[in-house]
């Protein structure tokens, strides 16, 4: 009988499982009310007196070994269950990552930057909170100049010399002050105007302005650059330049691209003319070059500017400019497939 108990001790020591049900069955087999241990204890009265001590010690060893085995297996299985609860089933298939959407302003801005980078333009940036010199005076708009009224400005009340920039031309001034010709740069960024907010206008919007300064730069160079830009961005190569006025360029022009009259939307967008205004341009005024420390006798150049918001609205048929700044997820999700 003692040998039989020792065999069970060896069996208990070897037992292992990863199932809670198997552990419970094992416990009932040895430690339950009708388990083997109770059977062995019942046999104690039939054991000869000289074997009772050894028999009792062996039974106790079996009991202790079985209890330790049950506790060890239960503890191991409880830890495994806790890890599964934290990390989930590590064998299950992975879930697809929810990819965010690009903002239409970012899409169009990156497209424009890519187009001009192909013809040698770099990107320059500057502060949105600007001083009067860089935003107005250096651009041939001295104090009390009537053309300042063309741009309704947000001034900082505590310091009338500080304002929110009304155009990214201020970046071009800073670039000319710190770099010698030849200069070929574009300046994208957010600008601010004190205007009423509606479906067609906002108090802040995005511009991208270009500047090219070198020897013997002509208006023909400007037109060719704009021709390349409109062809690459819109796929439309027909443009026209209408005489206009900007204080920092002379001569100046508005840039129109022929959009066409193929659909009802074309008639609505172009007001039935087929032509669409996309920005302004002109030859840099010599006074601007002088203000930035560039010899106007040796160098000349051109500048141009387009509204990123306006172009985005055209390309994606967006009818309300406010949608571009309201961060409506339903609106932004439409641009997930855009590059």
Query: Which residue ranges are tagged as binding site for Mg(2+)?
Result: 250
* DSSP run (H or E) holding 163: strand 159-164
Under DSSP, the state recorded for 35 is: S
Q: Helix, strand, coil: what percent of the chain each, to 5?
A: 45, 20, 30
Centre a 10 Å sphere on the Cβ of residue 134 and count the other Cβ atoms it contains. 21
Q: Is the peptide bond before 192 cis (omega within 30 degrees of 0)?
A: no
- Asked if residue 306 lies in contact with residue 279, where contact means CB atoms within 8 angstroms, the answer is yes
Query: Known binding site: residues?
Result: 250
Question: How are strands ordered across the β-sheet holding 129-131?
Answer: 129-131, 159-164, 155-156
Strand partners, 258: 275
Q: Report the alpha-carbon distance of residue 107 to residue 336 in Å, rounded.
A: 11
Centre a 10 Å sphere on the Cβ of residue 269 and count the other Cβ atoms it contains. 18
Q: Report the alpha-carbon distance of residue 130 to residue 142 in Å, rounded.
A: 15
Given the structure tokens 């009818």, which residue do they identify? 319
| Geometric angle at alpha carbon 200, from 223 and 102, rounded to 5° | 75
Q: Report the alpha-carbon distance of residue 211 to residue 281 in Å, rounded.
A: 10
Strand partners, 282: 252, 303
Q: Report the alpha-carbon distance of residue 157 to residue 127 in Å, rounded.
A: 18
């Amino acid at each position: 009988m003692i040998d039989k108990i020792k065999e069970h001790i060896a069996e208990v020591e070897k037992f292992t499982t990863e199932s809670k049900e198997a552990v419970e069955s094992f416990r009932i087999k040895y430690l339950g009310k009708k388990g083997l241990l109770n059977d062995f204890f019942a046999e104690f009265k039939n054991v000869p007196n000289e074997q009772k001590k050894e028999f009792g010690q062996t039974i106790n060893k079996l009991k202790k070994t079985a209890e330790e085995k049950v506790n060890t297996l239960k503890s191991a299985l409880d830890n495994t269950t806790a890890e599964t609860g934290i990390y989930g089933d590590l064998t299950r298939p992975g879930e697809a990552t929810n990819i965010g959407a690009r903002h239409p302003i970012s899409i169009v801005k990156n497209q424009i930057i890519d187009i001009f980078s192909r013809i040698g333009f770099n990107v320059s940036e500057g502060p949105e909170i600007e001083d009067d010199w860089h935003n107005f005076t250096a651009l041939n708009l001295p104090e009390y100049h009537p053309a300042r009224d063309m741009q309704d400005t947000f001034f900082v009340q505590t310091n009338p010399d500080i304002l929110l920039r009304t155009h990214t031309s201020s970046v071009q001034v800073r670039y000319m002050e710190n770099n010698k010709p030849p200069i070929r740069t574009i300046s994208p960024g957010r600008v601010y105007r004190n205007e009423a907010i509606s479906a067609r206008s906002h108090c802040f919007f995005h511009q991208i302005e270009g500047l090219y300064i070198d020897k013997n730069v002509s208006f023909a160079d400007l037109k060719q650059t704009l021709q390349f830009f409109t062809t690459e961005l819109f796929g439309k190569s027909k443009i026209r330049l209408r005489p206009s006025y900007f204080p920092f360029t002379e001569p100046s022009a508005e840039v129109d691209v022929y959009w066409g009259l193929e659909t009802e939307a074309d008639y609505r967008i172009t007001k039935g003319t087929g032509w669409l205004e996309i920005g302004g341009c002109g030859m840099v005024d010599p006074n601007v070059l002088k203000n930035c420390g560039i010899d106007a006798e040796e160098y000349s150049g051109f500048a141009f500017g387009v509204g990123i918001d306006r172009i985005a609205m055209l390309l994606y048929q967006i009818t309300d400019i406010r949608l571009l700044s309201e961060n409506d997820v339903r609106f932004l999700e439409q641009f997930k497939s855009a590059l």
